[in-house]
Structure 1
Amino acid sequence: MHQQALNVLGQPLQSCSLQPLTGFYRDGCCNTGPDDRGRHIVCIEATAGFLEFSRQRGNDLSTPRPEYSFPGVKPGERWCLCAERFVEALLAGHAPQVVLTSTHEDVLDRLSLETLVAYALDRP
C-alpha cells in the first residue's frame, strides 16, 4: 500500500514523528492511500500560533483525545497535516514550517516545491 512512497524531493519518504505517533495510518510517516480522504501528507512542526489557528478552524490538534489514543500535539512536535489545512493556514498567514524529507510527494498536486521550500526546516 505505501511501499516506495516518495517525498517532495523525489527520495524515499522519511518518518515524520513517532512521539506523538502521526500519519493517517499511525505509522509515523505521512503515507497516504485511497482511504485517506484528508490527505494527511504534509509533515509540519507545530507552533502555538498554528495550533490555535487550527483549533479556531474546527480542528483541535492540541487537546488530548484518549478515546482515540491521541495525546494532542504540542508546539515543537511534528505532525502529518492535511494538505488543505496547510493551504488554508498558508493563505491566512499561519503556515507552520514543513519537513521536506517527510512530506509526501502527492502534495505537489496542490502546492509548488518552491512554496514548500520557503517554509522548510530542512532546505535542500
Structure 2
Amino acid sequence: MAEKKQQTSTKPTMENWNAAGGRLALFSKDPPTGFYRDGYCRTGPEDKGKHTIAATVTQPFLDFSASKGNNLKDKGITDGMKWCLCAHRWQEAMQAAQNGELKREDVPKVHIHATDKSTLDTVTYKDLKAFAAESEAGNSGRQGSHHNPEEHRGIAGTSKEIGGDQPTEAPGAGKNQSKGGEITQTDSSRG
C-alpha cells in the first residue's frame, strides 16, 4: 500500500506573521486547512495560489468560486466552514460585491489573526478589516488587539494618546506644588 505524501513547508510555522503584525494563529485543524493542511493559512514557494486568507466561506461564495473554475464543494468545503482561501479569489469576491454581482454578506468573513501577512501584497488591510469576522477585535465593540500595519506609527502613536494635551517636560524638570497651593518651577540641573 502506497503511503500518501503530505506537503511540507520550507518555512517553520513560528516564523509566520499575520496580517495584523502578530504571530500567525492556527485556523482550523478540523478539517485540516491551508496549503500544507496543517491548519495554518501560510504560504511558501510551492503555493502558487497563495492560500493565505483565513475565512468562513458562504454558499454564494462557493458558487462564485465554482463559476471561476475552482469548485471547492468537490473538496468537501461547505457553507460556514473555515478554510484558507486564495488571496486573489477572495479579492475577486470582494470586488464582485462592490460591483453588485455578490451581496456584501456573501463575501467570506476574514479572520485576520490567522491570515498570513503576505496577503497584504494582494489585498489591503483596510479591505480585510472591512470584511473581518465578528470575532475579530474591533468588530465586536472591544478595543482592538492589533494595529493597522499600513499606519506607520509606533505603539503609542502620538504623545496626546498617552498624556492628553499636557505638555511633557524633561526628567528632573517640572513644577512642584507647595502645601499652600503655590506652584514653583524646579531646576533640572543637579550639581
Identify whether the pair has TM-score above 0.5, normalized to the shorter chain.
yes
Per-residue deviation, 1:58: 0.9
Q: Quote the offset at 1:16 in angstroms.
A: 1.6
Q: Which amino acid aligns with 1:114?
A: K
* Counterpart residue number, 1:74: 78
Tell me, in whole angstroms, the C-alpha distance in 2 between the residues paired with 1:62 and 1:17. 17
2:118 is aligned with what amino acid? D
Q: Give the counterpart of 1:31 among 42, 59, 77.
A: 42
Q: Deviations over 1:58-84 (max 9, x none)?
A: 1111124xxxxxxx1111111001111
Q: Which consecutive unaligned segments of at least 5 residues does structure 2 have? A: 1-10, 138-143, 145-191
**1:85 and 2:89 correspond:** yes
Matched residues in 2 for 1:31 and 1:46: separation? 18
Structure 1 counterpart of 2:70, one-letter code? N
Residues 106-117 of structure 1: pairs in structure 2 closer than 5 A: 106-117=118-129
What is the aligned counterpart of 2:111 among 93, 99, 104?
A: 99
Q: How many residues align?
A: 117
Return the letter of the residue paired with 2:127.
T
> Normalising by the residue count of structure 2, what TM-score does the alignment of the two structures yield?
0.59
Q: Post-superposition shift, 1:10?
A: 0.7
Identity of aligned residues (%): 39
The answer for the alignment partner of 2:174 in structure 1 is none
- Report the alpha carbon displacement of residue 45 of structure 1 after superposing the two structures with TM: 0.2
Please, which runs of 5 or more residues in structure 1 have no aligned partner?
Answer: 65-71
Does 1 or 2 have the higher relative contact order (CA < 8 Å, sep 6+)? 1
Deviates more, 1:87-96 or 1:35-44: 87-96
* Contact residue 20 and residue 73 of structure 1 kept, 8 A: no
Give the whole-Å Cα distance in 1 for the aligned partners of 2:57 and 2:26.
16
- Cα distance in 1 for partners of 2:22, 2:49 equals 23
- Which stretch of structure 1 is more off in the superposition, 40-49 or 2-11? 2-11
- In our comparison, the structure showing a higher alpha carbon Rg is 2
Match of 1:58 in 2: 69
Instruction: Give the partner amino acid of 1:117.
Output: K
